[in-house]
Copies of this chain bind each other. A is one copy, B any other.
């Protein structure tokens, strides 16, 4: 089996958008790509069958923090890793757990060694270090695993941001060292992606991007954005990072975002995205469609028997009506959560597939400019 490869096919002439193909031991991923988030080993309310047949997901995420606590490493290892455990046989990316641990706010303490935190489930104390987070992700068995980083809040003052970035860099070196001294557990290759930090300071971001680029990883990530900063600031720092990170490696912008955020970041040179938005917002009655945004709780959909979205290629989005989905959501039926989640994810996957086709056809920028307006329309 072989390390992750990235075949860059085309770069747009009017923007920095790229189309490529990532190859992993669990199959290929056509970029740009959106990765559904499977927090606790499941994309919430969606079956693995639906992820393939309805959503066309090519890769999904697992969250190290959640999986470490439940079902725990013993079970995941006995199962033969997350792919075997949940029956998802395409690529998986796991985060490092850092982001979740820092979100615990008062229940965690950052030290040079790592982070001590309390479980949100039973209050038990745990320590995450760069080394044991590599071990944990080895056991979970993601095809792509992430370095243990600190994601500073927005805004952070310069001193905090600088110290945090330097800690992230030291942790990265420990991650790489430990990763290189350990081996793949299940017969396929795991790949470590480092993460650019540096908050919203140009010199820190620049320094961090160069530092990450120097590690010559098979792919690189941009963290610490989409954490509350204005959208224009996010775009500014994504652009800065993309211009420094190596062209021949995939670039992953973590935790982004709305459909229009994704299109704008594709234009800046990002290849990979993940976000809980399609599933979380779906469960709260917000639908993203090819024609704009729908609040399906709104009374205007009560008698609208047209299908959810005939503009995309998802069978379920072309099967169930807006009126039926509204009824299910009002009646708090589980099926409503499933249909809304499947639809929103299918829409995200449809969107990046269209973006890729437009890049390959050389028509991305004009299409993107039109879509960014259309997708934000409130229907």
Of A288-296, A316-324, A367-375, which binds chain B?
A: A316-324
- The answer to whether the Cβ of A126 comes within 8 Å of any Cβ in the partner chain is no
Chain B residues contacting A302 (CB-CB under 8 Å) are 71, 75
Whether B327 contacts A75 by the Cβ 8 Å rule is yes
Instruction: Please state if A323 and B75 are interface contacts (CB–CB under 8 Å).
Output: yes
Q: List chain B residues, Cβ under 8 A from A44.
A: 333-335
| Count of chain copies | 2
Distance (whole angstroms) from the CB of A152 to the closest CB of chain B: 29
| A338 vs B49: C-alpha distance when bound (angstroms) | 12
One of A81-89, A204-212, A355-363 contacting the partner = A81-89
Question: Which residues of B are found within 8 Å of A324, using beta-carbon distances?
Answer: 41, 79, 85-87
A333 touches B40 (CB 8 A): yes
Check A339/B47 contact, CB under 8 A, given A79-B321, A327-B70. yes
Complex contacts, A333 vs chain B, CB 8 Å: 40, 42, 44
CB contact list, A135-165 vs B, under 8 A: none
A86 to B337, CA, bound (A): 15
B-facing mask of A52-76, CB < 8 A → 1, else 0? 0000000000000000001100010
The answer to whether A328 and B75 touch (CB under 8 A), given A47-B335, A85-B323, is no
Q: How long is the Cα–Cα vector from A302 to B43 in the complex, in angstroms? A: 21
- Interface residues in chain A, defined as those with a beta carbon under 8 Å from any beta carbon in chain B: 40-49, 70-71, 75, 78-79, 84-87, 302-303, 305, 315-316, 319-321, 323-324, 327-328, 330-331, 333-335, 337-339
11 example contacts (A-B, Cβ-Cβ < 8 A) are as follows A40-B333, A43-B335, A44-B333, A48-B319, A49-B315, A49-B319, A75-B302, A78-B305, A85-B324, A334-B334, A334-B337
